[in-house]
Each structure stands twice: as structure tokens, then as C-alpha cells.
Chains A and B, each alone.
Chain A
């Protein structure tokens, strides 16, 4: 319930912007931070997300839903970040801006909070999952909020895909839309 819950409230927090601002300027002062994330990936047709933000979200999705285990499919290749981009495009402008910032913050999470020399999307899948878990259990309310909001969205879109359902023992809605859309 509350499939997309949290994004609106998240983006309305006044200090959210401030905190991001602080984190980013501290990082920038140490120099070279932007270079650490590497060049932008080549993705066409995004409506809102920058190519960097897209990559961060894809990196998160593939860490949360790796291939294998009881459900063979992983998020890789499902383009869940594009689903988020589509969702975001219909959100008010301030949500779009703030959520893009949240992804920027997540990308630099390992640098800011673990003093690592790698940004989020450059970590291995298992490292990314562990890092994201540390946001979910963080002392910082803001980091917990970011974790909660993104994991809810990605869970809904991943498990709403019909190719996943047979592995859950779910046979889909009895009526209505059973397509892969």
C-alpha cells in the first residue's frame, strides 16, 4: 500500500535541500568529487533524470534485485530507473528537483559516510546493498527517508512485473491488465 509513498513528503522537507547542499559543498571543497563518479552513461530518452542520476538508480535497482536465487530474474535489463523517470515526469517541479538531488546524495553516500574513494554506482552489487542498508538503519532521519522512499518504489515496480509472478506462486490479477506494462 502506498506504492509511491514518501516521495512527496520527502521532497517537502525544508531542511532536505539544506542538508544536501551542505553535503555537496563539503565534498566539492575537498576537490575532485564530481570527477569520482566518472562520465555520464549514454542513455537516450530520459524525461527528467540526468544520465548520472539514472545510473545511480539503476545501480540501486540491480543491487536490491540481483539475478539468481529463487527468482532467476534480476533488475538488470528491466530499466526500472526509466520507470522512475516516467513517474517523476508527472510530479510537480519541486519534487522532480528534490528527488534528483536525493539520487545525487546517494551517489556520494560512500564518500561522505564511509570515507571511500568510490561513489555508489562504482561499488560492487553486494557493497551497494550493504551501503543502502546502512541508510535504512541510519541514525539520520533523512537518510532513512531516502532509503524508504526508493526501496518502496523499486519494490513495487519490480514485483509488479508478470515475468516475476510465477516464481512467487502468483497467477496475476484475475481480470484486467496482465501485460508486462
Chain B
């Protein structure tokens, strides 16, 4: 079988039988597809997004969120408290992510071994797969000239205060700093799944079906599984035709929400499916400077204040909080800022003088994925008080950093706008209650939902990724992660996916 990308909205296909069907072409799916194909397996990847590269990525919010993000950018928790950002495009999340490459700390791997019984996830066992992931991503540290004023302001504040900080590795090669990474790179500078694993899998013979959604898995305990696919129209808005794919091996890599959703709507798996979801919600803050910052040009996210994160918390592994620079196009920034009317315009008129950061707070398994009668995912998330306190602490820490870097004011995006003009006002942050739908939390690093565990009593899938109660239905995305793998999930997912895919290939004698 020769490799091909087939857009099912344009080229209808008949039912077919393959050896292995991979659901989702993102960090986990593309890596697994490449690994399995090069081991000699016949692989079909089903992806509900389209293929967008180069100048098809127009740099405009409305059109790009519509086409590159799950549910047109509109996925959120059931109470609307947290926007759940996930890619929906050939290549998945890496196409629209911030391109940061942060491997899983060794202490987290050890935490998984000791707390969750994942004996095979030792740092030593993961090391070669992590090295391969970093090589795939061309992981490199941005050059000093690529650090824009937004990232430099965060770093400067941290330096002034003597706080630990870093410039993160990234997957960019030849970046010219357009600043639109979160709606796709128009010059294909991000060396991610779309440009590495997918071409390699194609070369090795994998087929990719685009604009097709897997809606059901049946006969999950049989040697040959039956998958129902619904094809979508050219923009991915509506389901059109139905197609059946039969496969001996099924690999779920649809993302932490969608993989659990697919099992739930199929009635496959045990009672742990959908449980233990982590969203790692992030809260944006903005700072205003007299000097021009122009955060919309250059790499949006490179600098991070790491002083307050803990990588070896005995209870949680990765814990605490991080502060990371971020930027956004005008529409997105305006949608996150609290003021409207003329005061809102006043704030936006200082867009070129804004700096912004995301407060990244790792969480426990506070979320649950359910499905409604039509099979749509519903994500419930209860944020504990302890977590809310870490956001308050993070706001204060970020404000101190920005004031140290010379900011005039720091804006906290809360329904009752809070503008801090000096450190003396930090106590005001204590009044923030974070009631649902009052602050624009964003989730980009969903994990869990089909937790790996050595026994079906404790999780939804085995440490090999095998979904309990099935025969050869595997989950190779972050759904299996029992605690937050890292501040950024792409490299850890690629690492784990490759390790487990290689084991599947070996098991089958590939």
C-alpha cells in the first residue's frame, strides 16, 4: 500500500479493512503511525481536520480558529469556566501550538513509577524515546535576537528579583517572527508532526483520511474491530456519509478529551474511562509599559519564570506554578480583557504597549469527560480552593515581576476588572473568587481521562496503553497520563507514544 492523504470531503471512499487504524494525527497519532508503519504494519490514520500549511494559514483569528481548532475554537467546560483549546487539523495540536519543547522531568517519571505503579516508565526507559522526540522536533534554544520585548520584559523582571527563569527550547527552524504561531505558521517554520512524522509515515506507506470522524468502535473485544466513520463537508461543519473501517489494531490518539469521548460513546472500556481528567488551566494577565512592546511580533512564548514550580512534589509530581510570556492577535486579546465600551477601547489602544503572560498551574484529576445523547463531549471540572489560591499567588508573583521590569500597571482579567498600579495593591488579588465564568481560563495541555494503571481497578488502560476490556485497542495520547507530565505536553506525548507504539509493533512481530 502506498502512502497517501485523501480528503474524504472531496474523494469519497468505500468501506475497507486495514491492519491498524489510528484515530487522530496529532502529537500522539502521527508519531504512532510513523512507528507502526516503519515496523511494517499497514496503517490508516483518520483525522477530522483538514490540511493547512503555508499561506493557507492566513493569520486571521476568525477564519483560523474556525478551521484549525476543535469545535471552531469553542470547546469549553460545561460551566464555561475554562476554554478547552485543541487542534483539529492534519498534524493536530502541534500545528497551532506555541512550539515550546519541554520534556517530561525525570522526577515526574519516577513519580509515575512510585505513586501509580507504572514500573516501565523509568527515566532511563523513556530516555531514547525522548531523544527521538527532541530530534523529530529539531529542539533548539531560541537565539538571543529572537527574544522579543515581551519575553525580555518577563525575563528582566525575574532577573531583577533574582527569580529562577529560563528560555524554553522550541521546534522552530528559520522563524521570521510573524508572531502567529497559535493560528499556524505561514512559513512552515515549526518542525512538528506535520512536517516530520506525517511525511515519514507517508513515505513508509501510511494512509491518511482527512475530514473523517470516528464516531464509534464496536466489537472491541474481537480480533477485528469495527469503526464507524462519518465524513465531513469541506469545512468540517457537517457530517455527511458513513463509512466502515475494520481493523485489528486500533490506536486512539484523538486528544485527552476526544479519546475518552469516543470510548464513552461506543460503550467501550471500564468505569475509569472519562475520569481523572486534568486541564492544567492557564490564566492570562497583561501588563502595560510606557515603552512599546509590540508583543504581536516575534516568538510569542519563550521566557518562563520557573521559581515557583516544583518538579518533585511528593503528592503530585509537577506542581506549584509557572509564569510564561504569551502574545495574541487583537481580537483574541480583546476577548480576554475585562473592560468594554469606551474604557475597553482605551485599554486596547495600548495594545502595542502591552506585555502578557500565562499563569500555568498544574492541576490534579479534577475533570470528568461525559457524553450527551448525541455523543458530544461534556467536560465537568471542579477547581479546588487550593488551586484557586495558586492562581492568586501566581497573579501576585507575575505582577511583582512586571513591576520590577518597569510596568505601569498590571491588568487581571476578571469580570470585576482589577488593575494593579503598584505592589502595595497586591492584597486586592485576595478578593478574587474565581467563580465559574468570571475569568478567562484556558486549557491547552489536557491529560488523563483514560489513566494508565497496572490494574483495571485503578485506571482505564494498562501501562502498555491497552484499553481494559478490549483486544488491541490502545490509547497513545496524553489520556493515559496519571499526573501532569510537564508544563508542556507535546514532547512527553511524542515520547510516550513512540515507546508504546514500538512495544505494540514488537508484540505483533513487526
Point out which of A3, A126, A170 has the most chain B C-beta atoms below 10 A from its C-beta.
A3
Contact pattern, A 81-93, Cβ under 8 Å of B = 1, otherwise 0: 0010001001100
**Distance from A151 Cβ to chain B, minimum over Cβ atoms (Å):** 7
User: Across the interface, do B76 and A8 meet the contact criterion of CB distance under 8 Å?
Assistant: yes
Knowing A168-B330, A177-B58, say if A4 contacts B72 (CB, 8 Å): yes
Considering only CB atoms, which chain A residue lies closest to B78 in the complex? A9
Q: Which listed residue (B80, B342, B376, B442) contacts A69, Cβ 8 A?
A: B342
Q: Which listed residue (B61, B78, B186, B342) contacts A68, Cβ 8 A?
A: B342
Knowing A2-B83, A12-B376, say if A169 contacts B61 (CB, 8 Å): no
Q: Which listed residue (A68, A164, A173) contacts B59, Cβ 8 A?
A: A173
Chain A CB within 8 A of B366 CB? no
Residues of B with C-beta under 8 A to A68: 342
Q: Which listed residue (A64, A126, A137, A152) contacts B415, Cβ 8 A?
A: A137
Within 8 A of A (CB), among B413-443: 415-416, 435-438, 440, 442
Chain B CB within 8 A of A175 CB? yes
User: Across the interface, do B351 and A174 meet the contact criterion of CB distance under 8 Å?
Assistant: no
Looking at A17-25, A29-37, A51-59, A155-163, the stretch in contact with chain B turns out to be A155-163
Chain B CB within 8 A of A105 CB? no
Question: Whole-angstrom distance between the alpha carbons of A125 and B66 in the complex?
Answer: 30
User: Across the interface, do A156 and B79 meet the contact criterion of CB distance under 8 Å?
Assistant: no
Residues of A with C-beta under 8 A to B26: none
Chain B CB within 8 A of A48 CB? no
Knowing A1-B83, A129-B340, say if A155 contacts B58 (CB, 8 Å): no
Question: Whole-angstrom distance between the alpha carbons of A178 and B55 in the complex?
Answer: 12
Looking at B303-311, B331-339, B400-408, the stretch in contact with chain A turns out to be B331-339
User: Across the interface, do B352 and A169 meet the contact criterion of CB distance under 8 Å?
Assistant: yes
Q: Which listed residue (A69, A159, A177) contacts B63, Cβ 8 A?
A: A177
Chain A CB within 8 A of B187 CB? yes
User: Across the interface, do B59 and A63 meet the contact criterion of CB distance under 8 Å?
Assistant: no
User: Across the interface, do B186 and A175 meet the contact criterion of CB distance under 8 Å?
Assistant: yes
What is the size, in residues, of chain A's interface with B at 8 Å between Cβ atoms?
57
Question: Whole-angstrom distance between the alpha carbons of A174 and B180 in the complex?
Answer: 9
Chain A CB within 8 A of B348 CB? yes
Chain A CB within 8 A of B128 CB? no
Q: Which listed residue (B59, B292, B334) contacts A159, Cβ 8 A?
A: B334
Within 8 A of A (CB), among B339-379: 340-342, 344-346, 348-349, 351-353, 372, 376, 378
Considering only CB atoms, which chain A residue lies closest to B439 in the complex? A148
Could you name 22 residue pairs across A and B whose Cβ atoms are closer than 8 Å? A1-B332, A2-B74, A4-B74, A5-B74, A5-B80, A6-B83, A8-B376, A9-B80, A64-B341, A65-B340, A68-B342, A70-B345, A70-B346, A90-B237, A144-B80, A155-B335, A167-B349, A169-B351, A170-B296, A173-B58, A176-B180, A177-B63
Q: Which residues of A contact B (CB under 8 A)?
A: 1-10, 12-13, 63-66, 68-71, 83, 87, 90-91, 126, 129, 132-133, 136-137, 141, 144-145, 148-149, 151-153, 155-160, 164-165, 167-170, 172-177, 181
